[in-house]
């Protein structure tokens, strides 16, 4: 099957040819004909299967055919709503690439940056708007955006939308959309909450489900190093210097932890960058671009910041901290081993992480191979000392908490008494 056989027009075929794309992926092959017939679509597919092209190519094609009829300033005809800034930017890049030989214009809006450039782009007129929910509602409230001309609406990564708490924003958007429109709904999973939401958005949709040939846990090689918490950074440096020969995505549980890893790697002359919620959007984009180009070898990310990042041909993922939610582990390691490529997921497990490891192995129904031969083997005695110190700290904190109320109460009484005496003395002096 070719894109031409699917009915894709020549200007888009030319851009696909520039990219070296010859054959559509399964989701593209099934979705494009449905969407070219103006049907609603409910799509279930993992990130990395090519679904951005599956919905952007038909939308561009529809808009190209209608473009010759519009006069005056361009109005937003297609709206794509996505959960993260990074994913919004990537979708915008895809629309620009596939629409290279057309006159279709798109722009991307998201929070975390000043709105000036975004509003200027909107005022010039665009056909396609890619947006995160918060900034979209904000600019609608300011009168920069109207949804009354929308003919194509896409809700992408719907399960992530719900996980990130955007359900109320989505509901606000739905009541502002024209009833007559073509709607597309994409999600990696289909729990009841997602099905209920899709029923509110779609009208008698066609359904496309792409089952991966192998589950993430099956296609990605996984290993775990049992290591003391304080030796994790030493192990990471050792692996980066002696065993890992390409870019690696490292997951940290916290923003502070991500920054600390960057600082310690820098001391070892290993160039790295961190992306998390406290970083400005420009800093995040710069770090991601540097990583994708190969200039930066190591990217440290928290789970929220990594959502929506699509890095092709990524061979390594390292869980510096094991997640406490087993499903998060599967999402993390799914960043590697895409598009039929092999991948290796490495996890560091300290004493506290052993319970998390058991939960992960139960979920994926696989015993992860333990690498025992490494320079920083787990020391049970060190772990006992760490636990003892932690228990002592917790005990001290608990006892301090018990004493505080009575001390504060007495102190307040004394302060009030002293204050009253001072006021009395002041009155006498007057």
Residues 6 or more apart whose CB falls under 8 angstroms from that of 95 comprise 56, 60, 104, 106, 128, 130
8 Å CB contact between 265 and 316: no
Is 212 exposed, middle or buried (CB count within 10 Å of its CB: 0-12, 13-18, 19+)? middle
> Are 185 and 312 contained in the same domain?
no
8 Å CB contact between 311 and 249: yes
Helix (H) or strand (E) holding 317: strand 316-319
Q: Is pLDDT of 403 > 60? A: no
One DSSP character per residue, 96-157 reads HHHTTTS---EEEE-SSS-SHHHHHHHHH--SEEEE-HHHHHHHHHTTS---TT--EEEE-S
> Are 239 and 365 contained in the same domain?
yes
Q: Is pLDDT of 419 > 60? A: no
13-22, 146-155, 231-240, 381-390: lowest mean pLDDT where? 381-390
Q: For residue 349, is it within any domain?
A: yes
Among the candidates 209, 232, 265, a domain finishes at 209
Q: For residue 1, is it within any domain?
A: no
Nearest Cα to Cα of residue 380 among 244, 226, 263:
226
Q: For residue 396, is it within any domain?
A: no
- What's the pLDDT tens digit per position in 181-223? 999 999 887 888 888 899 989 988 999 988 655 556 667 899 9
CA distance 371 to 116: 52
Among the candidates 192, 209, 226, a domain finishes at 209
Mean pLDDT of the chain, nearest integer: 84
> Are 202 and 238 contained in the same domain?
no
Three-state SS letters, 211-255 = CCCCCHHHHCEEEEEECCHHHHHHHHHHHHHHCCCCCEEEECCCH
Q: For residue 404, is it within any domain?
A: no
Q: Is pLDDT of 109 > 70? A: yes
> Are 21 and 156 contained in the same domain?
yes
Number of domains in the chain: 2
Q: What is the mean pLDDT of residues 52-59?
A: 95
> Are 155 and 40 contained in the same domain?
yes
Q: For residue 163, is it within any domain?
A: yes
Locus of tokens 């955006």:
145
CA distance 288 to 356: 29
Residues 6 or more apart whose CB falls under 8 angstroms from that of 103 comprise 64, 67
> Are 121 and 34 contained in the same domain?
yes
> Are 170 and 311 contained in the same domain?
no
First to last CA, the chain: 98
List the domain range (segments joined by +) for residue 230. Answer: 216-381
Among the candidates 209, 233, 256, a domain finishes at 209
- What's the pLDDT tens digit per position in 338-373? 655 678 999 999 988 898 999 889 888 889 999 988
> Are 174 and 234 contained in the same domain?
no
Q: For residue 58, is it within any domain?
A: yes
> Are 199 and 315 contained in the same domain?
no
Q: For residue 424, is it within any domain?
A: no
> Are 292 and 205 contained in the same domain?
no
> Are 32 and 135 contained in the same domain?
yes
Locus of tokens 């900034």:
135
Confidence of residue 325 (pLDDT cuts 50, 70, 90): confident
- pTM value > 0.75: no
> Are 126 and 200 contained in the same domain?
yes
pLDDT at 362: 85
Q: What is the CATH number of the domain that holds 180?
A: 3.40.50.300
């Amino acid at each position: 099957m070719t894109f031409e056989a699917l009915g894709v027009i020549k200007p888009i075929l030319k851009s696909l040819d520039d990219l070296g794309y010859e054959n559509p992926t399964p989701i593209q092959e099934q979705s494009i004909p449905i969407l070219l017939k103006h049907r609603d679509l409910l799509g279930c597919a993992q990130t990395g299967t090519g679904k951005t092209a599956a919905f952007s190519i038909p939308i561009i094609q529809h808009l190209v055919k209608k473009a010759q009829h519009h006069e005056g300033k361009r109005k937003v005809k297609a709206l794509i709503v996505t959960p993260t800034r990074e994913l919004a930017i990537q979708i915008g890049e895809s629309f620009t690439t596939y629409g290279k030989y057309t006159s279709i214009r798109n722009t991307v809006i998201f929070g975390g940056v000043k709105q000036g450039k975004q509003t200027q782009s909107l005022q010039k007129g665009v056909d396609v708007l890619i947006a995160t929910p918060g900034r979209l509602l904000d600019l609608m409230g300011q009168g920069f955006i109207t949804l009354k001309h929308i003919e194509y609406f896409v809700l992408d990564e719907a399960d992530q939308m719900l996980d990130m708490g955007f359900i109320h924003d989505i509901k606000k958007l739905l009541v502002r959309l024209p009833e007559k429109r073509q709607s597309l709904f994409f999600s990696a999973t289909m729990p009841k909450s997602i099905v209920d939401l899709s029923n509110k958005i779609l009208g008698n949709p066609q359904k496309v489900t792409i089952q991966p040939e192998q589950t993430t846990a099956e296609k990605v090689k996984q290993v775990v190093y049992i290591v003391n918490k304080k030796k994790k950074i030493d192990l990471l440096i050792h692996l980066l210097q002696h065993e890992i020969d390409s870019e690696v995505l490292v997951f940290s549980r916290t923003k502070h932890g991500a920054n600390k890893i960057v600082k310690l790697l820098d001391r070892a002359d290993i160039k790295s960058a961190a992306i998390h919620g406290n970083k400005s959007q420009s800093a995040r984009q710069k770090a991601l671009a540097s990583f994708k180009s190969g200039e930066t070898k190591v990217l440290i990310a928290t789970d929220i910041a990594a959502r929506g990042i699509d890095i092709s041909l990524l061979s390594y993922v390292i869980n510096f901290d094991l997640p406490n939610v087993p499903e998060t582990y599967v999402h993390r390691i799914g960043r590697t081993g895409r598009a039929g490529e092999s991948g290796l997921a490495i996890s560091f497990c300290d004493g506290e992480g052993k319970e998390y490891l058991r939960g992960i192995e139960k979920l994926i129904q696989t015993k992860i191979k333990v690498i025992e031969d490494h320079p920083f083997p787990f020391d049970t005695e060190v772990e006992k000392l760490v636990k003892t110190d932690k228990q002592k700290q917790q005990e001290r904190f608990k006892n301090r908490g018990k004493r505080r109320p009575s001390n504060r109460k007495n102190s307040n009484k004394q302060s009030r008494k002293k204050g009253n005496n001072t006021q009395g003395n002041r009155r006498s002096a007057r």
